[in-house]
Chain A
Amino acid sequence: MSIPTPAAKGKNYDVIVVGSGAAGGQTAYTLSMEGVKVLMLEAGRNYVPEQETPMFQSYDQAPLHGASTPEKDFGFYDSTVDGGWTVPGEPYVQSTSDPHGRFAWWRSRMLGGRTNHWGRISLRNGPYDFKPHSRDGLGMDWPISYEDVAPYYDKVERLIGVYGTSEGLENTPNSSPGCLLPPPAPVVSDYLVQQRARRLGIPIVPGHRAVLTQQLDFKRSPALLHPGNLKAQKIIAQHMQQRAACIWATDCGRGCSIRANYQSTTVHLPPALATGNLDIVCNAMVSQVVLGKNGHAKGVKYFDKVSGAEHQATARVIVLAASACETARILLNSKSALFPNGLANSSGKVGRYVMDTVGADLSGQIPLLESLPPQNEDGASGHAFYAPWWGYQDQQKGKLGFARGYHIEFGGGRRMPGAGTLHGIERFTGGSYGKKLKEDARRYYGSFVGFAGRGEMIPNENSYCEIDPQVKDKWGIPVLRFHWKWSDHETRQAAHMQKTFADIVQAMGGRVTSKVQSDGAEAIAPGGFIIHEVGGAIMGADRQKSVTNEWCQTWDVKNLFLTDGAVFASNADKNPTLTIMALAWRSADHIADMMRRKEL
């Protein structure tokens, strides 16, 4: 993939898109397919999955056998470049030393952003998830309903390729026929969890992930994705054929050189570049949006990270898709006489209502899974099954003590051993070593099943980000300071997760490998740890209480759009990426329409 240099910046662009991940990739894809001239600015370096992905490398070929370090937080082979919980030279600040009041912020500095390593779990928000306040009086409603977004979920699923099934479960939408790819075959531990959890009344159904279990339907889908647009149809048909189906090996988190899973760099950007309508400048660290005298955004300022020089790029429309908190940061740092508290912030809501996902984990050792004959259990990197939330009715009756739901992700079996394999095995073996330890290793390997709850956090006034008055990053850009607080709805939910997982482990005849945490405040993963941060510039129907309208268009600045997770008015248990893409597509369609009507 050829990436233009900053020399391209002299052109007249229709739209500048800041960020190249799920939001930026989808926005640029949709716009460039519609003939709009787009300049994409990415803060990280160019990244070429076809050349850089460590497919098939075994862990003993990596330093420390791939163990995680502060320079590679999720292990050596994780595809994240120049990122993680810390980014050298780009700090962020906590408002308190209280561990429960802190927020951890994962960033990637690479083309495609966090889409290169993400879990690829792709769940639709359901009807309740867009109207949570109407349902239980908490949080905020979105200004749109599921029906508004459903056609875009269909489109995104068709474009990127998502496996799964439509089960007709409550608030767990079906996809339109032909949108989903068949789910991968489950492994033994999946079936065991399914059988035993169902006995407890917990539904276990095929998961949804953005992995090609078969080639995309390049004959039918192009016309459905881009009706009446023959050029776009031709380009996407070609790119769909270039993507291989999954070869059932090597972890998706490494990225995929054969383009069998979704990464912005393998799915959105190549066809967008093929239109000739997209230029990409990497190493472009955007500091602020520049406001024109007419009150419209006229461009952005950015630092070329290689030379350190500051540049300005201009366009008719500015789209921020830099990730929820980075987008809020850019807005808050864009101060002017008209907007002394940050751009598009007349509501005072920029930076407010940052949400992450509630997370709690537990694993079990399952004697039934011991000493089974070796089978290849790599599959599609797990998540063949999951448990969508099953407690909506109990919650309406007030039975659970927390208002919103969670789903369960789980997996087990014979995954590729790494440096941490069988650590702590002495708890099961009584401290064996020598030949006995080798026998024990054969017995216990593959007998563990891990459970992760992923639940909804309700937005609150105490979880937000703002600009720190002192600290600046290495480019001199003021940095974010985070405030964080879980409510009882989240901590009780986390405790419920722990109990549920322990019940499932017990129903499987197993034993949990760690303490079952009944104190939700201890069970819950710290803010930011699940890396589902959304909010910070929420959409709404009332410009006094929100930053954008339903089209991700800021109330205050007509030609400024936010197409990433910043606009989320709630954070359902469903992993946010699919919804980010659906909303970005919807917003980009709207931008293209407005441009055609000369309204922008």
Chain B
Amino acid sequence: MTDRRTTIKWMLSVAASMPLLRQRAWGQEVTAWPAVRGYGGDPDLTKIYKPGDVWPLTLSAAQRRTARALCNVILPDDGRSPDANSVGVVDFIDEWVSAPYPQQLQDRPVVMEGLAWMDAEALLRFEKYFAELDESQQHAICDDICYEPKTAPKFARAAAFFTRYRDLTVGAFYSTPTGWKDIGYIGNVPLTKFEGASAEVLQKLGLGPGHT
């Protein structure tokens, strides 16, 4: 099976999730399970869930304030689509870091430490919390940590956090109908006929019948 199988979800994601899968697919149950329970092996798939429905959210008000600000720095309103928090990305982040699963448990300290670092750095540079900074101040900090290969060694941990946080924010935003509209996903509608590639696009790329 290609998850994959087949159904080829993985190609959407640039990053492969194989390493984590490789760690755990060996028949043994996870023993270090936290007290909080997940949705189990047989959840109702047709119900509409929102963050907090299955396990409690755990970010403090202060953490959420910083998290919210950072989501909006990463994906602001640009006139074509609204900012990340208009679709509740901070709630997704809270749900994610509060979840009782290995990937999320691994991300939790990264995000917690990262949010704390953002505020500490903001206070150090501008004597205000990150959420209270103006855009140029927020960018001054983010510019130092937004791309790991070009980050100064002293910012390495913060940059690793930023990479992960950007992924979470991007994934959360673009998997909503608002994000679909922005990014150009126009599927998930029933059709009586499926046309496939448009003749116009094929022509432009020199593809399809008649082209070799």
Contacts and interface: CB of A to CB of B under 8 A. Distances in A.
Interface of A: 45, 51-54, 56-77, 79, 81-88, 91-94, 99, 102, 104-106, 109, 118-121, 184-188, 190-192, 195, 198-199, 246-254, 359, 361, 363, 365, 368, 372-384, 409-412, 414-428, 430-435, 437-438, 441-442, 445-446, 448-450, 452, 454, 482, 513-514, 526, 528-532
Contacts of A378: 187-188, 194
A79 B45 CA distance: 8
Contact of B45 (A83, A254, A377, A433): A254
Nearest to A414: B185
B114 to A, nearest CB: 14
Nearest to A375: B198
A11 B152 CA distance: 76
Given A70-B102, A411-B8, A411-B11, A379 B207 contact: no
Interface string B1-29: 11111111111111111000110111111
B147 interface: yes
Given A422-B13, A437-B74, 16 more contacts: A70-B30, A74-B5, A85-B25, A249-B191, A252-B7, A375-B198, A375-B201, A377-B187, A383-B8, A434-B76, A435-B76, A441-B182, A452-B5, A526-B25, A529-B25, A532-B1
Interface residues of B, number: 98
A51 B46 CA distance: 9
A374 B49 CA distance: 29
B133 interface: no
B140 interface: no
Given A71-B101, A83-B41, A383-B6, A64 B96 contact: yes
B61 interface: no
A382 B170 contact: no
B29 to A, nearest CB: 5
B75 interface: yes
A185 B104 contact: no
Contacts of A70: 24, 30, 101-102
Given A69-B38, A91-B29, A118-B1, A192 B205 contact: yes
B163 A426 contact: yes
Contact of A416 (B3, B10, B166, B185): B185
Contacts of A409: 2, 6, 8
A58 B12 contact: no
Given A433-B74, A438-B80, A54 B46 contact: yes
B207 A191 contact: yes
Contact of B12 (A85, A415, A482): A415
